[in-house]
Chains A and B, each alone.
Chain A
Amino acid sequence: MEPARLSATDLACRRGERLLFRGLSFALDPGQALQLAGPNGVGKSSLIRILAGLLRPFAGTLDRAGATGLIDERPALDGDKPLGEALAFWAALDAPAAAAPNLGVDALLDIPVRYLSTGQRKRAALVRLARQGAPIWLLDEPLNGLDVDAARACETLVADHCARGGLAVVASHQPFALPGLRQLALADFAP
């Protein structure tokens, strides 16, 4: 896996007229993981989108080197296609090298995505993320909708990723079990 880097300096985010946070800085090296914690509406998802380069920060700079994978509440899977075909589209783009853990998704490949539950879609998105082979993982509420077993599997997935030298940012209001997980409370940076 290529060496990756993710650091933010003095980030601020404004949504509409409201300043969500300011003066936020952190740096992640390969193998490290960071949890963004805080109550709803504190700006966790906005920060994830800023880190992904999908949203411009109101102030501050972002330094990101390496391919980036994102999990959020939208699975980006075609609803009318069977799950296998929907995942095959992304697999064709990502050209996955190694076999990835399947999180029980193999049993669902023939079912159209629109009939899948929230948790099943989330599992499919995690499988796509694992196959993407990106060194930087941005996870926005990855445990939402997952049952207990799938949540453990998700935590293991992220732990393995970090052990292989990947880095991860997890935005979650729930506890996320991961060795060496650093915490960043977004509420500390509220204006």
Chain B
Amino acid sequence: MRVVLILLRRDLARMLGGAGRGATLLPVLFFLAVAMLYPFAVGPAPEILRRTGGGVVWVAALLASILPLDRLLATDVERGTFDQLALRGIAEELVVAVRLLAHWLSFGPPLMLAALPAAALLGLDGATLRTLVLGLLAGTPGLAAVGLMIASLTVGLRGGGAALSGLLLIPLALPLLVFGAGALAAGGTGGIALTAAISLVLVAITPFVGGMAIRAGREG
């Protein structure tokens, strides 16, 4: 437990603090920029914005989650941090699980907050906003998990790893998008429940996938 707290404190300091120099803010700004540009692109017809706005917010959230991927694990593998932790008997699975929590905290809740101004820009009503924020709450842990799994698999790739991560995330995150954004059209809680279920599975397997990928990378 002490180890978890020490690791979490370092991860959060790196992701939220000065380490990334605004890297944390970047997904949120990107997310807001999409919400801001969309009305300019399709025109100011309120009922079109209301009908399609929620889906646009979801696409923006998915794309925003790609931005922090390339440095999520790569620096620690290159610097030998994982090796030093392994020598201290700290499993890669634990480090990845803590990293997943920190990664979600650094972009999930900020995106949910940013959904409020985004909803205002797109003219979404209260009920839609509620479904949207609940859907993001259910879906962003899954997005974080998919992102982290991809980051662990592409960690050894020299050059092009970042672009590949982005391309890989899109098909794997598709189920989250289908059910998360689908809940907006259906207006029910069924879609949100399915999104949460997918997230749960992804979150559960991520530490094991990440741990195996990092150990396999040592043999290369």
Instruction: Mark contacts of A77-109 with chain B using CB atoms, 8 A cut-off: 1 yes-contact digit, 0 otherwise.
Output: 111110000000110111000000000000000
Q: Name the A residues within 8 Å of B87 (CB-CB).
A: 52-54, 67-70, 134
Please measure, in the bound complex, the distance between the C-alpha atom of A77 and the C-alpha atom of B86, giving whole angstroms.
15
Please measure, in the bound complex, the distance between the C-alpha atom of A115 and the C-alpha atom of B81, giving whole angstroms.
19
| Distance (whole angstroms) from the CB of A147 to the closest CB of chain B | 23
Q: Number of B interface residues, CB 8 Å?
A: 21
Q: Name the B residues within 8 Å of A93 (CB-CB).
A: 3, 6, 85, 88, 90
Interface centre among B19, B78, B84 (most CB of A within 10 A): B84
Which residues of B, 193-219, contact A by the 8 Å Cβ criterion?
218-219
**Contact between A75 and B6, CB atoms less than 8 A apart:** no
If the complex has contacts A70-B83, A74-B79, A81-B19, are A56 and B219 also in contact, measured as CB distance less than 8 A?
yes
**Contact between A90 and B83, CB atoms less than 8 A apart:** no
Please measure, in the bound complex, the distance between the C-alpha atom of A90 and the C-alpha atom of B85, giving whole angstroms.
9
Which residues of A, 93-137, contact B by the 8 Å Cβ criterion?
93-94, 132, 134
| Distance (whole angstroms) from the CB of B22 to the closest CB of chain A | 13
Residue from A52, A77, A80 within 8 A of B19 (CB atoms): A80
Chain A interface category by residue count:
20 to 34
**Contact between A70 and B84, CB atoms less than 8 A apart:** yes
Chain B CB within 8 A of A185 CB: no
| Distance (whole angstroms) from the CB of A89 to the closest CB of chain B | 5
**Contact between A55 and B6, CB atoms less than 8 A apart:** no
Main SS at interface, chain B: helix
Q: Name the B residues within 8 Å of A94 (CB-CB).
A: 88
Please measure, in the bound complex, the distance between the C-alpha atom of A134 and the C-alpha atom of B87, giving whole angstroms.
10
**Contact between B78 and A54, CB atoms less than 8 A apart:** no
Chain B CB within 8 A of A76 CB: yes
Which residues of B, 1-52, contact A by the 8 Å Cβ criterion?
3, 6, 10, 14, 18-19
Smallest CB gap from B80: residue in A: A74
Q: Name the A residues within 8 Å of B75 (CB-CB).
A: 79
The total of interchain contacts (Cβ-Cβ below 8 angstroms) comes to 55
Q: Name the A residues within 8 Å of B90 (CB-CB).
A: 93
Residue from A55, A75, A92 within 8 A of B218 (CB atoms): A55
Please measure, in the bound complex, the distance between the C-alpha atom of A92 and the C-alpha atom of B18, giving whole angstroms.
21
**Contact between A90 and B19, CB atoms less than 8 A apart:** no
Which residues of A, 146-161, contact B by the 8 Å Cβ criterion?
none
| Distance (whole angstroms) from the CB of B219 to the closest CB of chain A | 7
Q: Name the B residues within 8 Å of A68 (CB-CB).
A: 87
**Contact between A55 and B219, CB atoms less than 8 A apart:** yes
If the complex has contacts A81-B19, A92-B6, are A54 and B83 also in contact, measured as CB distance less than 8 A?
yes
If the complex has contacts A54-B218, A56-B219, A93-B88, are A76 and B83 also in contact, measured as CB distance less than 8 A?
yes
Q: Name the A residues within 8 Å of B14 (CB-CB).
A: 78
**Contact between B19 and A78, CB atoms less than 8 A apart:** yes
Q: Name the A residues within 8 Å of B6 (CB-CB).
A: 89, 92-93
| Distance (whole angstroms) from the CB of B10 to the closest CB of chain A | 5
Q: Name the A residues within 8 Å of B10 (CB-CB).
A: 78, 89
Q: Name the B residues within 8 Å of A132 (CB-CB).
A: 88
**Contact between B80 and A76, CB atoms less than 8 A apart:** yes
Please measure, in the bound complex, the distance between the C-alpha atom of A53 and the C-alpha atom of B219, giving whole angstroms.
11
**Contact between B3 and A76, CB atoms less than 8 A apart:** no
**Contact between A76 and B86, CB atoms less than 8 A apart:** no
Chain B CB within 8 A of A72 CB: yes
Write 14 A-B pairs (CB below 8 A) sorted by A numbering: A67-B87, A67-B88, A70-B87, A72-B80, A76-B81, A76-B83, A78-B14, A78-B19, A80-B18, A89-B6, A89-B10, A93-B3, A93-B90, A94-B88
Residues of B in contact with A (beta carbons under 8 Å apart): 3, 6, 10, 14, 18-19, 75, 78-81, 83-90, 218-219
- 8 smallest A-B Cβ distances: which pairs? A74-B80, A76-B80, A76-B84, A76-B81, A92-B6, A80-B19, A76-B79, A68-B87
